[in-house]
Amino acid sequence: ADVYLAEQTSLGRQVAVKVLKNNSLQSSGDILLRRFEQEARAAGGLSHPNLVQIITTGREGAIAYIVQEYVPGMNLSQWIRRNGPPDYATGLKWLQQIAAALRTASEAGIVHRDVKPENILLTRAGVAKVTDFGLAQLNQPSTAAMNLTQAGTTMGTPWYMSPEQIQGERLDHRSDQYSLGVTAYH
């Protein structure tokens, strides 16, 4: 997907608009669109100060989009490249914020599956926010069919993946905890 900065004119605020690339739809078909829509449902149903909030979703012709909270700042990977490792107090604060956000997702039956520095946004005020639920697994009875991956299929960023995720097994909150631990080590 491509992400654009836009203005929500009705409220006079900036938002981020995530648009699924048309060429992705043509080459990967329905499964990619279903994953994109799943991301919107997974993240859109969550409310936590350390999760990027989904505002709305939709389709306009062949264009599928998610409108979400705009987080001015940078991601954790960019911050580390610019500043080096955070001091102990800052790192601990961010870990607590990210863990709280992942707990909210877990309590809703959602496994993020792609926790990594690039998916943690840092506001200019120094608040960490988890974003990008594009690979989320929904562990809810009503959505069991929405895993959108086959058994034995591996999805995510290998350096941050738990062993069970690498093996393509069904996951729970512990996989995200593992990925957060690797992110902390990073």
List, by residue number, the catalytic residues.
Answer: 114
State both tokens at 24: 């992705």
- Residues sharing a CB contact under 8 Å with residue 44, sequence separation 6 or more, in sequence order: 54, 57
CB contact set of 153 (below 8 Å; sequence gap of 6+): 168
* Phi, psi for residue 8 in degrees, rounded to 5: -85, 100
CA–CA distance, 41 with 58 (Å, rounded to integer): 11
Q: How far apart are CA 55 and CA 51, in angstroms?
A: 12
What is the DSSP-derived secondary structure letter of residue 119?
G
In DSSP notation, 43-104 reads HHT---TTBPPEEEEEEETTEEEEEEE---EEEHHHHHHHH-SPPHHHHHHHHHHHHHHHHH
Angle at 101 (CA atoms; ends 4, 143), nearest 5 degrees: 80
